[in-house]
Amino acid sequence: MMKKTEITWDSPSGDKITAKIIVEKCIINNSTLLNAVKNIGCDLDSSWDIQQETHDYMTIQIYCNDTFITRSNGIPSKHIPLHYAKNGCFAKINNVGIRKEQYNEIMNFITKANKSMLTFDYLRIKGQEFKKELKELEDLKQKYNTNDKNFTNNTLNGLCHKCGTFCYGDCEANFVP
């Protein structure tokens, strides 16, 4: 399912600013891909044991007088530099400052869109994905024999426990013996 909207306002300099927002949630069926991979004789690792998975997508595109300016795949950031705040901005989308009214409109749309697209099947499959991630995390904790409170956050954020950096597995992929 997909929800779209456009929010338009005038900038202090009189330009027409448009935010085009797309929010999508769907369930992807992996069985066709799994069968194709098996048919060509490839081995699958254990991460492919879920037949279905959720797909979440959100993008905000900003236009000024119908000219594309920037795109963000995340919600507007309220962590803004001082010069943005001095100019009346409450948040920013990449390098574009927005006022509180526009921030609230954008966030209200995103929240309502996300809520309206939640189905039982989506939540069931999302729950299976979370259980799988938790099991993988517990396995890593046992493997590295740690109870460090930061281990979970660092692992979820991409910390590699082999090389100690946030390489997202590149150290193993690029390893040349």
Q: What is the pLDDT of residue 138?
A: 81
Q: What is the pLDDT of residue 84?
A: 87
| 16-29 and 2-10 beta bridge pairing | antiparallel
Mean pLDDT (the chain, rounded)? 83
Instruction: Tell me: pLDDT of 35 over 80.
Output: no
163, 136: one domain: no
Going by C-alpha positions, the residue among 67, 88, 87 that lies closest to residue 20 is 67
135, 172: one domain: no
104, 164: one domain: no
85, 134: one domain: yes
68, 154: one domain: no
Q: What is the pLDDT of residue 175?
A: 52
116 vs 126: CA distance, rounded Å: 16
91, 162: one domain: no
Q: What is the pLDDT of residue 172?
A: 64
Instruction: Tell me: pLDDT of 147 over 70.
Output: no
In tens, the pLDDT along 61-71 reads 999 999 999 99
99, 161: one domain: no
Instruction: Tell me: pLDDT of 31 over 80.
Output: no
Distances (CA, A) of 127 to 78, 122, 131: 29, 9, 6
74, 137: one domain: yes
119, 163: one domain: no
- Residue 157 CA, distance from chain mean position: 12
65, 152: one domain: no
72 vs 64: CA distance, rounded Å: 15
In tens, the pLDDT along 111-143 reads 999 999 988 988 998 898 888 888 887 887 777
The structural domain count of the chain equals 2
Higher pLDDT, 111 or 158: 111
- Give me the percent of the chain exceeding a pLDDT of 90: 40
37, 101: one domain: yes
Q: What is the pLDDT of residue 135?
A: 86
Parent domain of 151: 146-177
45, 82: one domain: yes
Residues 137/154, Cβ–Cβ less than 8 Å: no
Residues 91/80, Cβ–Cβ less than 8 Å: yes
